[in-house]
Chain A
Amino acid sequence: MQPSAQQTQIRTTVKKLCLIVVVMCGFVVAMVPLYDLFCEITGLNGKTGGRYTYDPATTTADKSRMIKVNFITNTNDGMVWDFWSEKGGMRVHPGELRAVNFYVKNTTDKVMVGQAIPSVVPTAAAEHFHKTECFCFGQQILQPGEVMEMPMRFIVGRELPNNVQSINLSYALFDVTESFQDAAIATGGG
């Protein structure tokens, strides 16, 4: 039997339907970068941007406003290091460059690697919280018992919405020793 008109029609339908499946597969792959982009634009998940560069000559402090910035340090489940900041918070003017020190201590007798992940609340402030220097841009490798001082420099942008009076900056510290080793082995380093 040669293909009937109906069979040709069925084939066309199936082809169109397969196209839907392919498009939706593409959609889910695209969802990852789109989500990141969306969060970056809106600051929705409280993630802060990478290293901020600015021109000190053109950036001036807005002395008329005072913002309370609170520092919160957490260790993620399974991370045994001590992690603290030199102060719980500070008052800053938008546009002024400020610095604060954070500390970690490896309380174990093994070499370990840590990675801190920042998050800002309220999320509307996330895109205006600029860091010119942060330990969260890299990872920390600590010898047994070692303590490390980690400076963090930041500017609260002058465009910060007026209704925001205080900002919570929270760091979660993760133990990434294992994936660090995997990566080191993969690249042939050590």
Chain B
Amino acid sequence: MSEAISAVDHDDHSHGPAKGITRWLFTTNHKDIGTLYLWFSFSMLLIGGVLALIVRAELFQPGLQFVSPDFFNQMTTNHGLIMVFGAIMPAFVGLANWLIPMQVGAPDMALPRMNNLSFWILPFAFGMLIATLFSEAGGLNFGWTFYAPLSTTYAPDSVTFFIFAVHLMGASSIMGSINIIATILNMRAPGMTLMKMPMFVWTWLITAYLLLAVMPVLAGLVTMMLFDIHFGTSFFNAAGGGDPLLFQHIFWFFGHPEVYIMILPAFGIVSHIIPAFARKRLFGYDSMVYAVASIAFLSFIVWAHHMFTVGMPLAGQLFFMYTTMLIAVPTGVKVFNWVSTMWRGSMTFETPMLFSIAFVVLFTIGGFSGLMLAITPADYQYHDTYFVVAHFHYVLVPGSLFSIMAAVYYWFPKWTGKMYSERLGKLHFWFSFVGVNVTFFPQHFSGLAGMPRRIPDYALQFADFNMVSSIGAFIFGFSQILFLFVLIHGIRNGKPAAARAWEGARGLEWTLPSPAPYHSFTHPPKVTDDEAHA
């Protein structure tokens, strides 16, 4: 992507990118930082993917083949942490950096230097996290949810590195969110009122508030762990008068909004792509905004649906069951609007559109399995089985991850000035689509049949489902190498792209040349109704 950007020359002031490595180390440019975030996230996707494939290789057959149970636990733990905090979240922040200034008609982010800091913290955080895998004390093995006392009394000594890594990630996310909100609230071009903002900007505005609200909770949680481990306190230690359940409450008070942090920007992305390729305006823009806002609000009062089995009073179980089901209402509004946008549109099926349609269909499947889990008595059966694994992978992989891929294909011409190969992009899509379903669909069945999650060995009756699942995982994993190839091929050999690379694309970013100039809008653009939200 770099050569494409440096091709733009600047005659006004000396504002082109610096040369060499210092350009990336000291950059305060939103596009450079966006690029850094995206490549960082991609490398985390590959590392996390390798860990997942080790898990799936072990589960290919019953019995212990390749790894010890403890190493297996290290793989699931680090896979989850790396994917959530290293792949999905930074990818969305990268997209926010690239797109928000262009979409609101601003020259750059509001706080460019802090932007640099929030990115460059991340490699250190994840370096520290991944290094624990090689530590003598043993890698992290307590699951991505790091429940106490597994992560305190019984944790390997490397847990302290994990705690500091989480602190760093939290600091990075908080700074990133402050930056995004400050940009959106203060740097919109004249005429871009709140209710004219593109959906991606709206969803990120709300996501950033969610992050500001829950990242301090996560930081507080790991700090309490730190005190329990090293300073003799007993926040989560029953022997000292503490309560391990408190851990779960605090974790999920952070954790449930966190899962919506990982899906709201995805909602924004497909709300751009579907109208573009259906050649219609987004159906129900206002209701989309309100739906996102109500999902964000509700996400704070449903956390205990992850804890139905801990022994809650009936009133609590009912409360959390009903609020959880309530979330399905605004979610349903969104799905309805996407489908209505496609209804009678002049649709074409380029790669970004394929990923977006797959998003709508497969995310909906994940939403339905979520509803099944929300039914408290049913959850007693499903909890901690592969059904939960199937649920959250359906919302996170063909949900969040597909939306990120859709976004990369959709805005690729704007970023690089080149067009990727449509043929290769479609190939990547179909491999990913088949791979993801072959991997995760059977997990619904093994879960309903009672296969527990997080086990390295399983009873014989689950063998067939697991074998299918493992085959799918390898298909999906290797098709991401193809993704890398498509991107590099596009950057190197792609045909030049027009300013409005897609016929039906709307939004201020498409009024800029492709590739977009190093500084987006040095003079505020005129916001016409046509170029406001999609």
User: Which residues on A are within 8 Å of B, measured CB to CB?
Assistant: 6, 9-10, 13-14, 17-18, 20-21, 24-25, 27-29, 31-32, 35-36, 39, 42, 44-47, 76, 115, 117, 121, 123-124, 172, 174-176, 179, 182-183
Q: A20 contacts which of B212, B220, B238, B316 (Cβ < 8 Å)?
A: B212
In the assembled complex, 21 residue pairs joining A and B whose CB atoms fall closer than 8 Å, in A order, are A6-B186, A10-B110, A17-B181, A21-B212, A24-B215, A25-B216, A27-B216, A28-B216, A31-B220, A31-B249, A31-B250, A31-B253, A35-B243, A35-B246, A44-B312, A46-B311, A76-B239, A115-B239, A115-B240, A121-B311, A175-B239
Assembly CA distance A13 to B178 (angstroms): 8
Contact of A17 among B178, B187, B245, B312 (CB under 8 A): B178
Instruction: Choose among A18, A25, A47 the residue with the greatest number of B CB atoms under 10 Å from its CB.
Output: A25
Minimum distance in angstroms from A120 CB to a CB of chain B: 12
Question: By DSSP majority rule, is chain B's interface helix, strand, loop, or mixed?
Answer: helix
Taking a contact as CB atoms closer than 8 A, the residue among B178, B182, B213, B241 that contacts A24 in the complex is B213
**Are A14 and B221 neighbours in the complex by a CB distance under 8 Å?**
no
| Beta-carbon contact of A10 and B111 below 8 Å | yes
Chain A residues with Cβ below 8 Å from B250 are: 28, 31
Q: Is the CB of B243 within 8 A of A14?
A: no
A28 in contact with B217 (CB, 8 Å): yes
Taken together as a complex, chains A and B put the C-alpha atoms of A31 and B177 apart, in Å, by: 24
Q: How many angstroms from the CA of A121 to the CA of B177 in the assembled complex?
A: 44
B178 to chain A, nearest CB (A): 5
Q: Encode contact with A along B48-64: 1 for CB under 8 Å, 0 otherwise.
A: 00000000000000000
Interface assignment of B219: CB less than 8 Å from any CB of chain A: yes
Contacts of B212 in A (CB 8 A): 17, 20-21, 24
Nearest B-chain residue to A172, judged by Cβ:
B238
Q: Which of B174, B187, B235 sits near A6, CB closer than 8 Å? A: B187
Assuming A44-B313, A182-B232, what are 8 further A-B pairs, CB within 8 angstroms? Answer: A6-B186, A10-B110, A17-B212, A24-B216, A28-B219, A28-B250, A179-B239, A183-B232
Q: How far is the CA of A32 from the CA of B242 in the complex (A)?
A: 10
Tell whether, in the assembled complex, residue B220 and residue A35 are in contact, meaning their CB atoms are under 8 Å apart.
no
A174 and B178 contact, CB distance less than 8 A: no
Q: Are A27 and B111 within 8 A (Cβ)?
A: no
Do B238 and A117 touch across chains, with their CB atoms under 8 A apart?
yes
B214 in the interface, Cβ–Cβ < 8 Å? yes
Interface of A is mostly: helix
Q: Which residues of A contact B18 (CB under 8 A)?
A: none
Tell whether, in the assembled complex, residue B178 and residue A18 are in contact, meaning their CB atoms are under 8 Å apart. yes
Taking the closest CB of chain A, its distance from the CB of B469, in whole angstroms, is 33
Residues of chain B from 237 to 281 with CB closer than 8 A to chain A in the complex: 238-241, 243, 245-246, 249-250, 253
Q: Which residue of B lies closest to A43 (CB)?
A: B313
Contact A35 B249 (CB under 8 A): yes
Q: Is the CB of B240 within 8 A of A21?
A: no
Say how far A134's CB is from chain B's closest CB, in angstroms: 14
Q: Are B182 and A174 in contact (CB under 8 A)?
A: no
User: When A and B form their complex, which 10 residue pairs have the shortest distance between CB atoms, in order from nearest?
Assistant: A28-B220, A174-B239, A24-B216, A25-B216, A9-B186, A13-B182, A28-B217, A17-B178, A10-B110, A10-B186
- Complex: how many Å from CA A31 to CA B111? 32
Quick one: CB contact mask for B210-237 with A, threshold 8 Å, 1 for yes?
0011111101110010000000100100
Nearest B residue (CB) for A20: B212
Cβ of B185 within 8 Å of any chain A Cβ, yes or no, is yes
* Complex CA distance for A174 and B311, rounded to whole angstroms: 22
Chain B residue with Cβ nearest A79: B239
CB-CB < 8 A to B253: which residues of A?
31
Could you say which of A13, A27, A183 contacts B185, with CB atoms under 8 Å apart?
A: A13
Nearest opposing residue in chain A for B170, CB measure: A21
Is A25's CB under 8 angstroms from B240's CB? no
Complex: A182 Cα to B41 Cα, angstroms: 44
Residues of B within 8 A of A172 (CB): 238
Q: Which residue of B lies closest to A139 (CB)?
A: B239
